[in-house]
Amino acid sequence: MDWAMKLLVALLALVAPGFSLENGLMRTPPMGWLAWERYRCSINCHEDPDNCINERLFMAMADRLAEDGWRELGYVYVNIDDCWMALQRDEGGVLVPDPERFPSGIRALADYVHSRGLKLGIYGDMGSMTCMGYPGTTLATVALDAQTFASWGVDMLKLDGCYSSSLERALGYPAMAKALNNTGRPIGYSCSWPAYDGGLPPEVNYTLLADICNLWRNFDDIEDSWQSVLSIVDWFSEHQDVLQPMAGPGHWNDPDMLLIGNYGLSFEQAKAQMALWTVLAAPLFMSTDLRAISPQNVDILQNKLMIRINQDPLGIQGRRVLKTKHHIEVFVRPLSKDASAVVFFSRRTDMPYRYRTSLGALNFTGHALYEAQDVYTENVISGLTRDTDFTVVINPSGVVMWHVYPIVGKESLPWL
Ligand code: GLA
């Protein structure tokens, strides 16, 4: 950004003081299903009718979410991404869905999704076109598009940022927050703004984002590979001092979708992504074919204790507290009732690694007696004080995840 632009952005921040989205939504990280990572812009429904972006795909995913136990666990959003629109707006300038692939219209799809006890998310782009070339939302159409989405009964908007200048984004993202508020319909607001401005201050103003967006994409798109997961985890860890304090009830950092159930991750890596996203208080958006997902992957995604930790009411994002020369990393997330989630993560590629440590070495300061439950095996480890040495065996590119909670305080432990 040159100085003139910086000045303009600073001035803009001054002219819109104190506005906040305040839609009361997403007090815990949102959960659901989002089309992009798995289904991209597959629009050839003649050749691949079951795997293309059309209303049938979203109805099928809604059916699975409602019937296979997902909804009760909190996976309630069914979210459309790019490539749902017709190439032109209508005569009135209103966005319209592709008539062949969404013949019933978005209102009807929203009704269907709502009838299954779920919520519908939609996608737009602050700019002249979406990333795949469909009509964008310009400054002139922000209010109209918000109104259109509300009139369709949409519950969440992902506003992407392709084909825009940083000035348009600086004006457009807050304008959309206001426009969504003005509709009177609570619509969760996911902003891709930071990802288009480098993800870091001073270009990105996270205080403002936390006021106007429920979640925001900070960094690159996830791809179906372990490499991609690692690059995201690295970036979030390197910049955790900036990012971690910005997350909280109603406003979350978004490291992008879960890959679990697709092609790029091994079983260990799938468990690792779930654990790392949970310790980071990340939104949990699956992007996989729920009609064909394996029981093993369902177990990872439907792990009750995992979800309870992800949805902890305090909404504190965890941090990487340790990185050893043996390629072990440890992440800790504080939870309500003095509990914590601990993820022991191995970046090794040789064999299961026996990692010996203690809670004290992981910055636990309390004098309580703790118990830990392994989130995946459900084994309980009792009698831990912060000085007790223990060993966890972490598989290559895998995790061990513990839910650690105090049993009694020091005052009841006269021998400590
Ligand atoms: C961008 C976003 C992705 C997805 C695509 C759609 O790359 O970051 O999440 O929405 O656009 O074209």
CA 3 from centroid of its chain's CA atoms: 33
Per the annotation, the verdict on 125 as an active-site residue is: no
pLDDT score, position 7:
56
pLDDT score, position 166:
98
Q: Residue 315: which region, alpha, beta or left (left: phi > 0; alpha: psi -120 to 50)?
A: left
- Say what percent of the chain tops pLDDT 90: 92
- Determine the topology of domain 3-310 in CATH: TIM Barrel (3.20.20)
Q: Report CA(372)–ligand 1 centroid distance (Å).
A: 39
Mean pLDDT of 260-265: 98
- Amino acid letter, 295: P
Q: Provide the pLDDT confidence category of residue 367 given band limits of 50, 70 and 90.
A: confident
Tokens coding 156 = 């969440």
Q: Whose CA is nearest to atom 9 of ligand 1?
A: 221
Q: Which atom of ligand 1 is nearest to the CA of 131?
A: 12
Q: What is the mean pLDDT of the chain?
A: 95
pLDDT score, position 3:
58
- Per-residue pLDDT for 83 more than 70? yes
Show me where the domains of the chain are located: 3-310, 319-412
Distance, in Å, from the CA atom of 197 to the CA atom of 224, rounded to the nearest integer, reads 24
- Per-residue pLDDT for 145 more than 60? yes
pLDDT score, position 49:
98
Report the relative pairing of strands 340-346 and 119-125 from DSSP bridges: unpaired
Q: Report CA(125)–ligand 1 centroid distance (Å).
A: 9
Distance, in Å, from the CA atom of 309 to the CA atom of 311, rounded to the nearest integer, reads 5
Q: Provide the pLDDT confidence category of residue 77 given band limits of 50, 70 and 90.
A: very high
Q: What are phi and psi of 382, to 5 degrees?
A: -105, 170
Which of 83, 84, 192 gets mutated to test ligand 1 (max ligand atoms within 8 A of its CB)?
192
C-beta 141 within 6 A of ligand 1: no
Q: Whose CA is nearest to atom 3 of ligand 1?
A: 221
pLDDT score, position 330:
98
Which of 82, 98, 160, 211 is the catalytic position? Answer: 160
Q: Report CA(221)–ligand 1 centroid distance (Å).
A: 7
pLDDT score, position 366:
85
Q: What are phi and psi of 176, to 5 degrees?
A: -65, -40
pLDDT in tens, 184-233: 999 999 999 999 999 999 999 999 999 999 999 999 999 999 999 999 99
Q: Report CA(355)–ligand 1 centroid distance (Å).
A: 39
Per the annotation, the verdict on 312 as an active-site residue is: no
Which of 53, 79, 81 gets mutated to test ligand 1 (max ligand atoms within 8 A of its CB)?
81
pLDDT score, position 12:
58
CA 365 from centroid of its chain's CA atoms: 30
Q: Report CA(106)–ligand 1 centroid distance (Å).
A: 20
pLDDT in tens, 85-102: 999 999 999 999 999 999
Distance, in Å, from the CA atom of 143 to the CA atom of 50, rounded to the nearest integer, reads 34
C-beta 39 within 6 A of ligand 1: no
- Per-residue pLDDT for 14 more than 80? no
Q: Whose CA is nearest to atom 11 of ligand 1?
A: 131
- Per-residue pLDDT for 6 more than 80? no
- Per-residue pLDDT for 13 more than 60? no
Are the C-beta atoms of 74 and 115 separated by less than 8 Å?
Answer: no
C-beta 211 within 6 A of ligand 1: no
C-beta 312 within 6 A of ligand 1: no
Which of 63, 111, 221, 374 is the catalytic position? Answer: 221
Q: Which atom of ligand 1 is nearest to the CA of 257?
A: 9
C-beta 12 within 6 A of ligand 1: no
Q: Provide the pLDDT confidence category of residue 10 given band limits of 50, 70 and 90.
A: low
pLDDT in tens, 385-413: 999 999 999 999 999 999 999 997 555 55
Q: Provide the pLDDT confidence category of residue 28 given band limits of 50, 70 and 90.
A: very high
Distance, in Å, from the CA atom of 127 to the CA atom of 140, rounded to the nearest integer, reads 11
Distance, in Å, from the CA atom of 76 to the CA atom of 78, rounded to the nearest integer, reads 7
pLDDT score, position 305:
98
pLDDT in tens, 151-175: 999 999 999 999 999 999 999 999 9
- Per-residue pLDDT for 15 more than 50? no
Q: Count Cα atoms within 13 angstroms, Cβ side, for 314.
A: 16
Which of 162, 220, 254 gets mutated to test ligand 1 (max ligand atoms within 8 A of its CB)?
162
Q: For the domain bounded by 319-412, which CATH number is listed?
A: 2.60.40.1180
Q: Report CA(82)–ligand 1 centroid distance (Å).
A: 7
Q: From residue 143, give the alpha-carbon distance in Å to each of 55, 95, 149, 180, 181.
A: 25, 12, 10, 8, 10
CA trace torsion 136, 142, 143, 147 (10° rounding) = 40
